[in-house]
């Protein structure tokens, strides 16, 4: 016999929503297409290699590739149906334009879910903050939060992330990125956030935008899509905080600030490093104080955590649940994930920051390496992209954080690293310390050979950091998958 409390469990409006993510009729209605066959799907994919059992495969047409070529492969991998612009064998919805249909499907998903939505952007920390915020909201809602995966933050990734949103979601967290002005403005009108968060402004993509101020203006486009009564969350410590706040107020949004500034709404009062490298934080949240631990090491994670608390506060979410989620969060692949590597006589530490790099994140990663208790510190640093005429200066300026981190051996990867190699090559002793030994390589495979020549020993700490285009993720994969001595 059922317990009375179970029988009296309160009904929710979302209880009447379908359990399947989409069915053929709903896809056709959302996209203006025609359903051929009856099917239900549990996921949406645009890469046939990622298709799993029960997914919808969307056959996008690109400049160099037509997804229709992979429809048969998608069915072989278990696709329940496909979204196409020409008839195919198998269950499908036929539309005129699959990119437009994906955007329409995302818009329908956004409209049907009675959820609070957060949009996240910034020059650094946006993916890490998005993941941390998702963890906090997922815990607060007992599993009813949804977020974009990986760095799906462009004109394809945003509508794909929206289209994957379950109808029963209570929270949605969507990342938005850009390379040029105007791109975030187009994305935020799809996401229509209730809360829009800018993590930080740094000289990423400065090649295309010319100055940090222009980068700030481009990031501020996220406020243009805010729902009426929306809240903008701005980093108080940024020199562009006033610009960001002004852009938010211009569209009628209220502004919440976070940071170390005494006037910040969400303000750090105290930070103590924990034994495992994380931080114990005391934070002023308007008229309350919150004490919690963050598991991830590094000063940049303190800022990320403040941003997460600011967003949760704006949403009225459970701050206690947010603190617990931040304590449990681990490093992300390519963004601070740590691996213990077995080596002769013991273990070495690998810090994987291989996904991306700009001058600000490079300094943060090197500071993280410098804080590690190690007998030898090795930095494998890939070139930073999209810096334009500023490239030589920004690369050369990495000397100071390298010396501050007391790096023993540096492996520099890519032609853009030449100005740094020239500064290291002077062999001079500065106020910060002696120049480390270094190797300058053309590519990731040469960097792997250089690291093999150095050899890893017990109590080594290795940082791998660079723009994704350099390909250092392959070096990380080789290190992690390498068999232990004696295997």
In the annotated binding site for ATP, the residues are 122-128
CA distances from 15 to 9, 12, 166 (A): 12, 5, 12
CA distances from 249 to 90, 221, 252, 253, 261 (A): 51, 12, 5, 5, 20
Percent of the chain that is helix, strand, coil (3-state, to 5):
40, 25, 35
Q: Residue positions in the annotated binding site? A: 122-128
The tokens for 473 are 């993720």
Rounded distance between C-alpha atoms, residue 378 and residue 461, angstroms: 6
DSSP state of 439: E
The tokens for 172 are 């949605």
DSSP 204-233: TTHHHH-SHHHHHHHHGGGGGGPPTT-EEE
Residue with tokens 């400065």: 206
CA distances from 207 to 240, 391, 396, 428 (A): 19, 9, 17, 31
Closest CA to 166 of 49, 14, 9, 48: 14
């Amino acid at each position: 016999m059922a317990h009375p409390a179970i029988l009296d469990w309160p009904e929710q409006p979302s209880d009447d929503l379908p359990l399947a993510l989409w069915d053929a009729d709903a896809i056709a209605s959302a996209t203006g297409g025609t359903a051929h066959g009856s099917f239900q799907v549990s996921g949406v994919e645009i890469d046939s290699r990622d298709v799993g059992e029960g997914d919808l495969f969307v056959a996008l047409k690109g400049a160099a590739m037509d997804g229709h070529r992979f429809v048969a492969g998608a069915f072989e991998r278990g696709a329940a149906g496909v979204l196409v612009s020409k008839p195919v064998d198998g269950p499908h919805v036929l539309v005129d334009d699959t990119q437009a249909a994906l955007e329409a499907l995302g818009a329908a998903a956004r409209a049907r879910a009675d959820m609070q939505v957060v949009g996240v952007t910034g020059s650094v920390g946006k993916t890490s903050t998005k993941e941390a915020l998702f963890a906090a909201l997922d815990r607060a809602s007992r599993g009813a939060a949804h977020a974009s995966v990986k760095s799906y933050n462009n004109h394809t990734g945003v509508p794909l992330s929206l289209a994957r949103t379950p109808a029963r979601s209570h929270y949605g967290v969507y990342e938005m990125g850009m390379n040029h002005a105007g791109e975030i403005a187009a994305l935020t009108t799809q996401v229509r956030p209730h809360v829009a968060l800018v993590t930080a402004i740094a000289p990423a993509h400065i090649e295309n935008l010319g100055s940090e101020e222009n980068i700030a203006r481009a990031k501020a486009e996220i406020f243009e899509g805010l729902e009426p009564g929306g809240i903008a969350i701005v980093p108080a410590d940024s020199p562009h905080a006033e610009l960001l706040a002004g852009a938010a107020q211009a569209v009628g949004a209220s502004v919440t600030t976070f940071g170390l500034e005494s006037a910040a709404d969400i303000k750090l009062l105290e930070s103590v490093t924990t034994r495992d490298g994380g931080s114990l934080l005391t934070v002023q949240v308007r008229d309350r104080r919150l004490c919690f631990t963050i598991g991830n090491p590094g000063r940049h994670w303190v800022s990320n955590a403040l941003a997460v608390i600011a967003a949760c506060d704006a949403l009225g979410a459970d701050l206690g649940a947010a603190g617990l989620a931040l304590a449990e969060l681990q490093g992300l692949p390519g963004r601070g994930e740590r691996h213990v590597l077995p080596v002769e006589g013991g273990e070495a530490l690998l810090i994987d920051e291989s996904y991306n790099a700009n001058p600000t994140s490079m300094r943060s990663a090197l500071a993280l390496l410098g804080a590690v208790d190690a007998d030898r510190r090795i930095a494998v640093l890939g070139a930073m992209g999209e810096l334009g005429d500023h490239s030589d200066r920004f690369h050369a300026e990495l000397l100071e954080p390298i010396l501050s981190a007391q790096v023993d051996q540096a492996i520099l990867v890519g032609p853009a690293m030449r100005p740094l190699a020239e500064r290291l090559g002077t062999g001079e002793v500065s106020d910060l310390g002696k120049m480390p030994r270094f190797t300058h390589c053309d590519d990731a495979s040469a960097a792997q050979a250089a690291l093999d020549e150095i050899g890893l020993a017990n109590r080594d700490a290795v940082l791998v950091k660079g723009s994704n285009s350099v390909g250092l993720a392959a070096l990380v994969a080789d290190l992690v998958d390498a068999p232990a001595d004696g295997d």
